[in-house]
Structure 1
């Protein structure tokens, strides 16, 4: 008997890992976007402070200490020295690297780097500042000329109004960008650290949840798949049962009418035999009629078994005994080229059924196995105790199996194997009622018969019958027939 397969739970690590990686990537993108926004805001605040400082200088210090002449290229050396003192005392710091004053036409009228006085840099920043806007740009210190080491700076152009009128000129401040970047880092790094810790903590908390959720999802999908397969199997079994029921009713009706006619034939032949004088030549003819009537009666009994309308005489018996009783009969049926092996359960397999009909089941299955092994092989008959098969009521079942090493069956043949009059044998070599009779007897006995087979791998029939307790402690199979229990038998035809 083939042991039932146990459906192992699906292992989800690959799916969990993929899901976790996707989730981590999503969190990382979200954290990166948050960090980018935070950095952008920090840069705006840092650069805004430089803009505020430049505007403050223009609106206070320069407005109070400059005149319109300072925005013309006519300033003398003495005025340049005065402006050097003013900017050095009030504006220049270690972070303010350079200052400039521009005339309205964009010419440098003053710079603490005197080499730049009189130059006119390209660009439209001065024009924009003269229009009243404060303009800023990130560049290098000497990109428009100058002496000394070059550094990254933030340039701020702001208009200078000496009175309430329009700007008299433009003030440019070069702020070292290192403090700006440092300020941004001081703001952004704590945020980045908080986001990183939050991401790790969230992922550490979420990963087990993801694993449990994924496992539950896989289990749910597996249960749905098994439920769907069970439903399809039940529907197929229902269709098969309905088809067998319809065919069985047809066969039973035919057998009943046919049996009535056979009874009449047999009765009249008996009367005719009694009325004939001894030595009449018709005597042998009437005996042949009765013999043919008996054979036809056997056919009707088989049809009644298919239709599950035959009269059963159930008793409690051990399937081991049924197997051992039928094997001597089989030796003369299956041929010398086939070996019979038996594997009987040592604890016995007691059922309540018609023993004669169960022996008929075993004979039909053995003969079917014989027909599948034209070149010889092995038939193994086994017994055991198992759980309820699919489609049967819950409980303990006694199981008898008949397995052969023949050519096997494909799925199409398996789906029709229990149908009445279905046969794969040549015309005239089979009625197609052998396995249909098995199905009818087993079903009428409250059991289930199933088949497992693949082309080239042999066939195994499994008959499940509801198990019952031993009739009494005195009828223990292991003590009544100690030579049978737990042993393996090989019966070779003689």
Structure 2
């Protein structure tokens, strides 16, 4: 009687254990979205990515120590032992039974070599769990998990001891009480451990997502501040640079005053470059995007990069075997690569190895969940890896902030990496950093891949002779600018070139000036962002009354929604660039090449 009762107990508890394990494994497969991997596991790199994440998820379950993933052809798609990946074992009987839809279990007593691998466990249960398709329920493959059933065996041993102890005193009656009791206790223990493991995993994911959100909010706030400062500063630089050029034009070049004015002018130009980097970080610069091959862009920069890094740094370029097409502003993309290379060079003062690599990556939902990087999708990846001094976690958390630098005073502005961040974000991309002190740093950039067979090339802008100057004008220009210094400068420059200038401080003032002016207004030259009606709103209202009036926008940056195609004059500008922009905006649309040199806004 005791033998019968202990056998029944062993069978009941074991069956529940295997069924519960199978249910947990099947649930994790569905949550990870890995059903498609059984039919298309991807390349080895892709397998390793989803395999490692899936293995980590399953090992968070109680007593799971190893994982294998099989397809219907008895091929191992993933294993903790990498040498087994891709091999076939058609003679595995337990696997063949599992592929018919049955749960198969084999209890193994491990030899010494296996014990060392399995963290000195003496017994392991190999459980083959069939994976079914969500739709028609056919078997996609199987997941083999290795468990150390120490808790199960201990429960069975305790139950047998009790059963054999009381078998002589009414075992049949007590069995009806003890069997449900032992089963219920064991089930509750397993469920509690499973819930604790799941709660721990959720807490970790919540902490990671919270940190990412806080970092994104901080960078957004800093970006808004930087963009606002750059916009206001560009208005000041427009006046400084414009007035300097007017004074230089009116002063003999050999006078000491002209030398001082030239120094002011060159300093203002340097400041203008800094505001350009701030605009790049705040993602408020105007981009001229084209479809281009990232491999070609990296290859074309090769010679210049070698000159930049010096002789004590070895440069290695590893390009993806297939073209990586992206929709990007080539000049800005080259600036990103150059900034990362210079940053890597400075991190290797005693020399080292610098690797610039491109790759094509498909991020599925399982790989993207909880991991640093962009959302699921197809990406062209650019990696810049150095063997320099590396960074600690505190430094990594601040490297993309404007003006933050670890270099000595005078060796950097602190805007190089913030420019990289802003440019990539404006291209709908993502940038990550991985670094260990003393081992080096890797910056990884993800850009959305474009499925377009034809690459658009950018024709070089025609170079005008240095002596060429814009013709004098006779048209009427309505200048609308809320900054008085900029408005006065623009009005003076245009009047000197022969134009009739009407000036207004904002949109409402401009409409009043236009209503009082009875003659034609040939051009509206307006700032984009102003108090009251914005530049596009003013253009729309003025065009309703004066449809023949053309429009030219001027701005320190542009993030206004598109309304119509009009040329854009970027601040800070020079008197020469202003008069040329006005001349091109007024040129007949049929004149070839007249309006090709300025970017279009609101297209």
Q: Do both share a fold (TM > 0.5)?
A: yes
The Cα shift of 1:373 comes to 0.3
Q: CA deviation at 1:222?
A: 5.7
Paired residue secondary structure (1:37): coil
Cα distance between partner residues in 1 of 2:226 and 2:196 = 44
Per-residue CA distance 1:284-343 (angstroms, 9 max, x = gap)? 333222221111110000011111111111111111122122222222222211111100
Offset at residue 226 of structure 1 (A) = 4.1
The worse-fitting range, judged by mean Cα deviation, of 421-430 and 397-406 is 421-430
Structure-1 separation of matches of 2:374 and 2:385: 22
The answer to whether the aligner puts 1:321 opposite 2:303 as a matched pair is no
Change (3 A) 1:225 1:398: farther
2:378 and 2:448 in contact (8 A); partners too: yes
SS at match of 2:442: strand
| Contact 1:450-1:463 within 8 A present in 2 as well | yes
Change (3 A) 1:398 1:259: same
Q: Distance in 2 between matches of 1:462 and 1:288?
A: 40
The corresponding residue for 2:151 is 19
Whole-Å separation in 2 of the counterparts to 1:237 and 1:296: 33
Cα distance in 2 between the residues matched to 1:320 and 1:443: 20
Counterparts of 1:229-240 in structure 2 under 5 Å? 229-240=204-215
Partner-residue secondary structure (3-state), 1:387: strand
1:460 aligns with 2:453: no
CA contact (8 A) 1:348 1:384 kept: no
**1:15-54 mapped onto 2 (5 Å cutoff):** 16-38=148-170
Pairwise CA distance, 1:443: 0.9
Conserved? CA contact 2:293–2:455, under 8 Å: no
The answer on whether the counterparts of 1:337 and 1:375 sit within 8 Å (CA) in structure 2 is yes
The Cα shift of 1:415 comes to 1.6
Query: C-alpha distance in 2, partners of 1:219/1:323?
Result: 49
Asked if residue 432 in structure 1 is aligned to residue 414 in structure 2, the reply is yes
CA distance in 1, matches of 2:436, 2:167: 64
8 A Cα contact 2:292 2:456, kept in partner: no
Q: CA RMSD in A?
A: 3.5
Q: Which residue pairs with 1:384 in the alignment?
A: 359
Instruction: Decide whether aligned partners of structure 1 residues 345 and 428 sit closer, same or farther in structure 2, where only a CA change above 3 A counts.
Output: same
1:367 is matched with: 342
**Deviation at residue 239 of structure 1 after TM alignment:** 0.5
2:374/2:446 contact within 8 Å kept: no
Segments of structure 1 that go 5 or more residues without pairing to the other structure are 39-190, 476-494
Look up the match of 2:554. Answer: none
Per the alignment, residue 139 of structure 2 pairs with none
**Map of 1:352 onto structure 2:** 327
Shift of the alpha carbon at 1:275? 1.3
Pairing of 1:4-403 with structure 2 (within 5 A): 4=49, 6-7=52-53, 8=55, 9-10=58-59, 11-12=64-65, 13=124, 16-38=148-170, 224-277=199-252, 279-388=254-363, 390=372, 392-403=374-385
Of the two structures, which has the highest relative contact order with CA contacts closer than 8 Å and spacing of 6 or more?
A: 1
Pick closer, same or farther for the CA change 1:391–1:332 going to 2, 3 Å. Answer: closer
Q: Which structure 2 residue ranges, 5 or more long, are not aligned?
A: 1-44, 66-123, 126-146, 458-603
Aligned-residue offset at 1:25:
2.9
Matched residue, 1:418 = 400
Q: What CA distance in whole angstroms lies between the structure 2 residues aligned with 1:222 and 1:315?
A: 49
Is the radius of gyration larger for structure 1 or structure 2?
1
After TM superposition, the score normalised by the length of structure 2 is 0.48
SS of 2:320 mapped into structure 1:
coil
* Contact 2:289 2:327 (C-alpha < 8 Å) held by counterparts: yes
Distance 1:356 1:474, change over 3 A: closer
How far apart are 1:447 and its partner, in Å? 0.7
Q: CA deviation at 1:392?
A: 2.6
Deviation, 1:450, is 0.3
In structure 1, the residue corresponding to 2:454 is in which secondary structure? Answer: coil
SS at match of 1:423: coil
The one-character-per-residue Cα deviations of 1:409-457 (angstroms, maximum 9, x if unpaired) are 1112112221222211122222221111111111111111001111121
Question: How far has the Cα of 1:473 moved from its partner?
Answer: 8.6
Q: Deviations over 1:92-116 (max 9, x none)?
A: xxxxxxxxxxxxxxxxxxxxxxxxx
Distance 1:293 1:383, change over 3 A: same
| Separation in structure 1 between the aligned mates of residue 152 and residue 236 of structure 2, nearest angstrom | 78
Say which SS state the counterpart of residue 408 (structure 2) adopts. coil
CA pair 471-269 structure 1, distance change in 2 beyond 3 A: farther
What is the rounded CA distance, in whole Å, between the counterparts of 1:272 and 1:280 in structure 2?
A: 12
Q: Distance in 2 between matches of 1:385 and 1:227?
A: 31
Aligned 8 A contact 1:314 1:352 in 2: yes
1:107-166 CA-partner distances (Å, limit 9, x unpaired): xxxxxxxxxxxxxxxxxxxxxxxxxxxxxxxxxxxxxxxxxxxxxxxxxxxxxxxxxxxx
* SS class of match (2:287): coil
